[in-house]
């Protein structure tokens, strides 16, 4: 069952039924000011940091779900309704939500009145625009009363939801003209305030929530809206809000447009005040002036479209399969930009008050957007590297507002360092910018401890080498990529976090996944060293990689698949000897990607075991059999009910590793079949089961052991986005940036006849036409660039500014 449809020409998903199985959301903002908005106008806004600079309030896990947002109410002679259906929930004569690239349009029709609200954040602006257009399609004159509504958050979103003894006394506002200013704590330690204004004279307002809503009412029936009359309330403490009231008179056929602007301002210390206790509003007024007509807003919206044209223009595919094309060309790339901006902080599954930017997460996210915004990728790489220690280890996360690493979710995740090699090499291959390596970057955010970025990579590499266990396999530390395989944490205390507790510190648990990861990114390190003439460095590093391959073959192979780990006691994890959790996906992914034991048949056996034991109709589960009891020596993984999350859920992030492994083996049909199973567009028809948005990847789909296999959770903020994009474009479609040119190496289903990829790379546009006359899955017979036959499968660097036609024949 579907709740809408894709409009590919406009790059939108159009929701036609407001009662989706879960709020289907979108993100507004591309730089510093962000909003989350659901298909019924729920959500919130913040400046840079969803925890410390929250502008509007949101109550998570609410009843009903998704209540609170930037709402509009229309009182049409006693009939009260909202353009996005919620919060009033008056049945609409028609409803439509268009989620596009960084904007959302909600349109409702009731009794001949059409109200359309466009939400977006203009480029270069710390404000959200809400453009409301109301049209009278009837033959009568209409008198409507329009109310806006936003509830202020007292900045620190966590404190806001807990510290009521203080917060109910601190709220302060100012009202001037048509603008409501929120200035709580501005007097003391804050240099910022928020405002919500409209480009029309007001007939009234409210700024105190209880006066507006009424203590026993809720957002669906605020007493002021029902009465059709504002109270002009001024908030002193309690819960400040911003609600504008406008009388709207419309002749038959007439439309009126109103531009609401919800923004954020910072003032320098000496310019904070206009007069005693009166805030300096100059910057707010400048911002409002930039959007004081619908025309100006249309222009800003055009600029936003142009911006997205540019971002999505770098790579696009024409395959004849609409699902594939729209995922690659539109939604997957869009989601990658959102994970760039949000990491794992703010979604309808991440509260925005918990997690900052993760070290491993952000490094991996980078492979999904480096082609679009290389300069910002470069900056991100430095931010990440600066939270590393001299020994190569890293803080597991940092807060975007301060960019400083913190211990809030612990450290010692021994996979962390290697992901920096992935992000750095991906950046250089895309841009050719080796100068990144020479830049001085601090360790532990301390400028006096700066070394070149290359030294950071070297520290990453040797962090593994210097932390080997009894089988010469990498020590796992607190956990590797799988946050829930906590082999050095034996926890009996339900109030203890598995991620921050390492009560068996110094333990000798080892990870076969990190071993595979090390071989893959160790080789990347070696190749990089050779590229920059550090031959001795390369030779030395290669020895450690060879030793690691040997260790995996000797101690990491279980006969039919790779082991997952050795636990604290030195017992095998992920072995046929185990009763539960006999096989895990992560080590199969990394060791097959590394091609460890390819000649000996290990890669094929491992992948076939995955197919046989882990694959399901909805994707590949993480482990099998699922854990059905608590294993204190394994940790959180065995706390999840079977089939969910890390315990045998389909943890989508790791499925691409198997897809890439299949391409190493040359089996394009299997790689693509796995790809299809996870891709939301292919799952749109089962939206009632899938539950979350059909346009973005989810972190998890319930596995075969779960109560409802196929039900997805944790949409949007997941490494799935970047890995799926990386896999489909670079390993299946096979267009891969490399140091010396663009490598062409498709691995596709045999029945494909061909496809075309347009790729901008280092200032050159390549239109690459791939033909598959012999119906092979892998292998290239010839490549012609503008007619000239090439040697090998790397198109060498061409002079920038030109466009080339590339004819590729597989065979
Ligand atoms: C979450 C975390 C990520 C981790 C994964 C597997 O997605 O953000 O860091 O690798 O779970 O546990
Ligand atoms: C839980 C989740 C895991 C996530 C971690 C973040 O362990 O299962 O996916 O990465 O929390 O701290």
Q: What is the pLDDT of residue 451?
A: 98
Q: What is the pTM of this model?
A: 0.97
Ligand positioned closest to the Cα atom of 647: 2
Say if residue 50's pLDDT is above 80. Answer: yes
- The closest-lying atom of ligand 1 relative to the alpha carbon of residue 651 is 6
Compute the distance between CA of residue 183 and CA of residue 193 in angstroms, rounded to an integer: 5
Compute the distance between CA of residue 443 and CA of residue 323 in angstroms, rounded to an integer: 44
In the chain, what percentage of residues exceed pLDDT 70?
100
Q: CB of 417 within 8 A of CB of 411?
A: no
Beta strand spans in 508-617 (E)? 510-511, 565-566, 572-573, 583-584, 615-616
pLDDT digits (tens, 9 = 90+) for 370-380: 999 999 999 99
The terminus-to-terminus CA distance of the chain in angstroms comes to 40
How large is the average pLDDT for residues 33-60? 97
Say if residue 794's pLDDT is above 80. Answer: yes
pLDDT digits (tens, 9 = 90+) for 210-219: 999 999 999 9
Compute the distance between CA of residue 419 and CA of residue 389 in angstroms, rounded to an integer: 15
Distance 482 CA to ligand 1 centre (A): 6
* Vertex 248 angle, CA 242 and 251, to 5°: 160
pLDDT digits (tens, 9 = 90+) for 120-167: 999 999 999 999 999 999 999 999 999 999 999 999 999 999 999 999
Distance 36 CA to ligand 1 centre (A): 22
Q: What is the pLDDT of residue 406?
A: 83
pLDDT bracket for residue 779 (50, 70, 90): very high
In order of 22, 64, 147, 247, 400, the CA distances from 74 in angstroms are 25, 21, 7, 10, 38
- The closest-lying atom of ligand 1 relative to the alpha carbon of residue 481 is 10
* CA count, 13 A, side-chain hemisphere, 30: 22
What is the distance of C-alpha 675 from the center of its chain?
19
pLDDT bracket for residue 10 (50, 70, 90): very high
pLDDT digits (tens, 9 = 90+) for 657-699: 999 999 999 999 999 999 999 999 999 999 999 999 999 999 9
pLDDT digits (tens, 9 = 90+) for 513-538: 999 999 999 999 999 999 999 999 99
pLDDT digits (tens, 9 = 90+) for 454-473: 999 999 999 999 999 999 99
Q: What is the pLDDT of residue 182?
A: 98
Say if residue 506's pLDDT is above 80. Answer: no
Distance 22 CA to ligand 2 centre (A): 21
Name the residue at shortest CA distance from atom 3 of ligand 2.
Answer: 483
DSSP 42: B
pLDDT bracket for residue 809 (50, 70, 90): very high
Q: What is the pLDDT of residue 240?
A: 98
The set of residues, in sequence order, having a beta carbon less than 8 Å from that of 661 and lying 6+ positions away, is 588, 589, 592, 593, 603, 606, 607
Q: CB of 451 within 8 A of CB of 392?
A: no
Q: Is 536 a catalytic residue?
A: no
How large is the average pLDDT for residues 389-403? 90
Q: What is the pLDDT of residue 308?
A: 98
pLDDT digits (tens, 9 = 90+) for 751-762: 999 999 999 999
- The closest-lying atom of ligand 2 relative to the alpha carbon of residue 645 is 8
Backbone angles phi, psi at 147, to 5 degrees: -120, 135
In the chain, what percentage of residues exceed pLDDT 90?
96
Q: What is the pLDDT of residue 507?
A: 84
Q: For ligand 2, pick from 484, 500, 651 the residue to mutate: most ligand atoms within 8 Å of CB.
A: 484
Distance 358 CA to ligand 2 centre (A): 11
What is the distance of C-alpha 175 from the center of its chain?
37
Say if residue 71's pLDDT is above 90. Answer: yes
- Cβ atoms within 10 Å, residue 202: 18
- For ligand 2, is residue 327 a contact (CB within 6 Å)? no
Distance 721 CA to ligand 1 centre (A): 13
Distance 9 CA to ligand 1 centre (A): 34
Q: CB of 287 within 8 A of CB of 194?
A: no
DSSP notation for 628-645: -S--TTTGGGGGSPTTBT
How large is the average pLDDT for residues 547-565? 98
DSSP notation for 190-203: --EEEEEEESS--S
Q: Say which residue, 279 or 503, is predicted with more confidence.
A: 279
Q: For ligand 2, pick from 415, 483, 638 the residue to mutate: most ligand atoms within 8 Å of CB.
A: 483
Residue 153's SS3 state is strand
Lowest mean pLDDT across 386-390, 400-404, 423-427, 708-712: 400-404
Name the residue at shortest CA distance from atom 8 of ligand 1.
Answer: 361
Ligand positioned closest to the Cα atom of 654: 1
Name the H helices within 366-511: 374-385, 416-431, 453-465
How large is the average pLDDT for residues 479-489? 96
Q: CB of 436 within 8 A of CB of 453?
A: yes
Burial class (CB in 10 A: 0-12, 13-18, 19+), 433: middle
Name the residue at shortest CA distance from atom 12 of ligand 2.
Answer: 499
- For ligand 2, is residue 378 a contact (CB within 6 Å)? no
Q: What is the pLDDT of residue 407?
A: 80
To the nearest whole number, what is the mean pLDDT of the chain? 97
| Partners of 76 in the β-ladder | 79, 144
How large is the average pLDDT for residues 495-505? 86
In order of 27, 80, 83, 140, the CA distances from 113 in angstroms are 28, 12, 10, 11
Structure tokens at 547: 């030793």
pLDDT digits (tens, 9 = 90+) for 397-445: 988 788 888 887 777 899 999 999 999 999 999 999 999 999 999 999 9
């Amino acid at each position: 069952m579907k709740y809408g449809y894709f409009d590919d020409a406009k790059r939108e998903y159009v929701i036609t039924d407001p009662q989706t199985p879960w709020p289907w959301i979108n993100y507004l903002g591309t730089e510093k000011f962000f909003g989350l908005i659901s298909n019924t106008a729920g959500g919130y806004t913040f400046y840079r940091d969803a925890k410390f600079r929250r502008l509007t309030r949101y109550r998570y896990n609410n009843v009903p779900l998704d209540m609170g947002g930037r709402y509009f109410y229309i009182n049409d002679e006693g009939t009260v309704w909202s353009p996005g259906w919620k919060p009033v929930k008056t049945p609409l004569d028609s409803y439509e939500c268009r989620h596009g690239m960084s904007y959302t349009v909600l349109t409702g029709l009731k009794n001949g009145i059409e109200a359309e609200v466009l939400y977006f954040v203009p480029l270069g602006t710390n404000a959200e625009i809400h453009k409301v257009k109301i049209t009278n399609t009837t033959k009568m004159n209409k008198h409507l009363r329009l109310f806006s509504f936003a509830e202020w958050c007292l900045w620190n979103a966590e404190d806001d939801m807990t510290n009521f003894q203080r917060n109910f006394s601190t709220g302060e506002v100012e009202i001037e003209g048509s603008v409501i200013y929120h200035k709580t704590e501005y007097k003391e330690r804050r240099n910022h305030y928020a405002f919500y204004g409209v480009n029309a004279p007001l007939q009234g307002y409210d700024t105190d929530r209880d006066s507006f809503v009424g203590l026993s009412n809720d957002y669906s029936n605020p007493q002021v809206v029902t009465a059709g009359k504002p109270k002009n309330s001024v908030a002193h403490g309690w819960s400040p809000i911003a609600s504008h009231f406008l009388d709207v008179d419309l002749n038959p056929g007439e439309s009126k447009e109103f531009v609401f602007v919800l923004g954020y301002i910072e003032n320098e210390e000496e310019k904070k005040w206009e007069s005693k206790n009166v805030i300096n509003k100059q910057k707010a007024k400048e911002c409002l002036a930039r959007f004081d007509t619908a025309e100006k807003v249309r222009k800003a919206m055009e600029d936003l479209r142009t911006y997205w044209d540019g971002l999505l223009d770098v790579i696009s595919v024409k395959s004849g399969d609409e699902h594939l094309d729209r995922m690659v060309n539109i939604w997957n790339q869009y989601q990658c930009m959102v994970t760039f901006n949000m990491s794992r902080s703010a979604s309808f599954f991440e509260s925005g008050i918990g997690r900052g930017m993760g070290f491993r997460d952000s490094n991996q996210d980078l492979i999904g957007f480096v082609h679009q915004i290389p300069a910002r990728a470069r900056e991100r790489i430095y931010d990440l590297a600066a939270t590393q220690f001299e020994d190569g280890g890293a803080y597991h996360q940092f807060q975007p507002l301060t960019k400083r690493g913190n211990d809030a979710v612990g450290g010692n995740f021994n996979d962390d360092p290697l992901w920096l090699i992935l992000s750095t090499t991906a950046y250089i291959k895309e841009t050719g910018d080796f100068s990144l390596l020479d830049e001085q970057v601090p360790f532990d955010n301390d400028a006096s401890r700066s070394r070149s970025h290359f030294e950071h990579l070297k520290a990453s590499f040797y962090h593994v080498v210097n932390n080997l266990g009894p089988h010469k396999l990498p020590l796992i530390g607190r956990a590797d990529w799988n946050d829930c395989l906590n082999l050095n944490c034996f926890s009996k205390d339900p109030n203890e976090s598995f991620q921050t507790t390492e009560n068996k510190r110094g333990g000798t648990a080892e990870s076969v996944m990190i071993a595979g990861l090390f071989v893959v990114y160790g080789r990347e390190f070696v190749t990089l060293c050779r590229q920059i003439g550090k031959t001795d460095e390369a030779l030395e590093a290669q020895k450690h990689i060879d030793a690691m391959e040997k260790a995996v073959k000797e101690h990491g192979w279980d006969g039919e698949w790779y082991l997952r780990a050795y636990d604290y006691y030195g017992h095998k994890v992920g072995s046929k000897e185990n009763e539960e959790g006999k096989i895990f996906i992560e080590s199969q992914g990394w060791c097959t990607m590394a091609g460890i034991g390819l000649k000996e048949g290990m890669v094929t056996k491992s992948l076939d075991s995955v197919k046989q034991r882990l694959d399901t109709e909805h994707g590949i589960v993480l482990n099998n059999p699922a854990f059905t009891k608590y294993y204190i020596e394994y940790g959180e993984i065995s706390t999840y009910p079977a089939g969910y999350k890390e315990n045998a859920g389909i943890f989508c992030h790791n499925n691409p590793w198997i897809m890439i492994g299949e391409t190493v083996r040359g089996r394009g049909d299997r790689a693509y079949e796995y790809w299809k199973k996870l891709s939301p567009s292919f799952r749109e028809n089962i939206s009632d089961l899938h539950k979350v948005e059909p346009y973005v990847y989810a972190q998890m789909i319930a596995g075969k052991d779960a109560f409802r296999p196929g039900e997805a959770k944790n949409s949007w903020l997941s490494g799935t986005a970047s890995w799926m994009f990386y896999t489909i474009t670079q390993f299946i479609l096979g267009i891969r940036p490399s140091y010396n040119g663009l490598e062409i190496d498709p691995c596709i289903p045999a029945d494909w006849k061909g496809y075309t990829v347009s790729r901008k790379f280092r200032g050159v546009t390549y239109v690459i036409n791939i033909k598959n006359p012999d119906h092979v899955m892998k292998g290239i017979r010839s490549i012609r660039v503008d007619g000239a036959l090439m040697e090998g499968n790397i198109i060498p660097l061409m002079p920038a500014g030109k466009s080339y036609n590339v004819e590729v024949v597989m065979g």
